[in-house]
Amino acid sequence: MSTLPTAGPGPYPADAPASADLFDRARAVIPGGVNSPVRAFQAVGGTPRFMASGQGPYLFDADGRRYVDLVCSWGPLLHGHAHPEVVAAVQAAAARGTSFGAPTAAEVELADEIVARTPVQRVRLVSSGTEATMTAVRLARAATGRAKLVKFAGCYHGHVDALLAAAGSGVATLGLPGSPGVTSAAAGQTIVLPYNDPAAVQAAFAAEGDQIAAVITEAAAGNMGVIAPRDGFNAALARIAHAHGALLIVDEVLTGFRVSSAGWHGLEPVDADLWTFGKVMGGGLPAAAFGGRADLLDQLAPTGPVYQAGTLAGNPLACAAGLATLRLADADAYRRLDDAAATVSKLTTEALSAAGVPHRLSTAGNLFSVFFTGSDVSDYATAQTQHTAAYAAFFHAMLARGVYLPPSAYEAWFVSTALDDTAVAQVAAATPAAARAAAAAGAGS
């Protein structure tokens, strides 16, 4: 990127009256005023910003304020907001009809694209990442005739009952140990182990290997903050699982098609059995998928006995957005994403260092997060050593200067190909004051 100017907007007022009014109205009709918990700003305090529109690297809220977007709808918006080719594809699809409840050519084209980019031989489209992981687990249990699962503390795989045990992301943000309504029978089938600890996996299989259907892991953890797998960890999971007749499910809902054209597999090939995808493959519309070897996927109905269905699966609008997004995701796009992530993370860490704020930059490809701790972070327990009040102060100082970060210390930061020099300059202008705010919140003490 070229030399960055230092200009940026002055701090916005702390109040956001239009958003506050909408939040009051929402709380009267929507539990907590939001339809996904992290959006409520409980982890950082203050009024959640209700967004009115997006364009390129920017979001615009109900009060008319503009923000550089480093959330990107939690990952799907690889090319920023309202990319002309994505918009045109969705408009054309909508003009033909929004849903048919019957197969379409777009479903085949999107499935072809996923199979061409990844190790999967077959893929089934669904509407959410939760559906993808839920059905991958069901398929693994059917294929092995076993019930138990191994997952890792802090890894989030959607709000499936068995997978909410020691989940990260929104559960960590809200300080909940799990969720009421998840039965002991469901949770009891899940063995929760520390992330990046192959010895713990080996021990679990030594004790209960003949009962374990699968290990499920995020390809790189992104829901307790970003934590990459240590060298050889994912390979060890495949080796241990296969030695005991179990399967490995790699969750690429977050990393898939974001960190490379083949997702995390493009950076670190692993001998997994099933993969899940989402976010980028829908281009901002609800779409997800799971896939794997043909012999496993052919156990799904209608060719096999494992049932799964979805009225809106393969929705033509979502397929159109996903196809347009993936077709724009060429080698140059990934170079731009990597460069943008490196620039933003460097600006952030330099400002925090200058302000004397202990922190750790943690990366996984072009995904990253900043942990406000002086300790190394390798798993959920060490992620929880961070100074969340300092993050909240940093978040609000950035928000006041027109930069929208994840409203939780336990989330990944996302960049887009639309993040140009002007937007990066605004981030550069905001970070010094935000770092000083974090220091004032006690992060340096």
Positions marked catalytic: 156, 251, 279
Regarding beta strands 247-252 and 274-277, do their DSSP bridges make them parallel or antiparallel, or are they unpaired?
parallel
| Beta-carbon contacts of residue 129 (< 8 Å; ≥ 6 apart) | 157, 158, 251, 253, 276, 278, 279, 288
Nearest to 318 by CA among 265, 357, 277, 348: 277
Q: How many CB atoms lie within 10 A of CB 230?
A: 14
Quick count: other Cβ atoms within 10 Å of Cβ 329?
Answer: 22
Report the distance separating Cα 96 and Cα 102, nearest Å.
Answer: 14
- First-last CA distance in the chain: 35
List residues bridging with 152 in a β-sheet. Answer: 193
Cα distance between residue 170 and residue 6, in whole Å? 34
* Among the listed residues 273, 265, 209, 269, the one whose alpha carbon sits nearest the alpha carbon of residue 247: 273
Encode burial over 239-269: b for 16+ CB neighbours within 10 A, e otherwise: bbbeebebbbbbbbbbbbbbbbbbbbbbebe
Q: Which two tokens stand for residue 342?
A: 């490196």
Integer angstrom CA distances of residue 261 from 129, 152, 255, 331, 335:
19, 26, 10, 8, 11
Tokens for 165, please give them.
């045990």
d(CA 171, CA 269): 30
Q: Is the peptide bond before 76 cis (omega within 30 degrees of 0)?
A: no
CB 227 within 8 A of CB 194: no
Angle, to 10 degrees, between the axis of helix 233-243 and the axis of helix 198-208?
Answer: 10
Query: Of 135, 158, 126, whose CA–CA distance to 288 is shortest?
Result: 126
HEC secondary structure over 25-83? HHHHHCHHHCCCHHHHCCCCCCCCCCEEEEEECEEEECCCCEEEECCHHHCCCCCCECC
| 112 Cβ contact partners less than 8 Å away, ≥ 6 residues apart | none
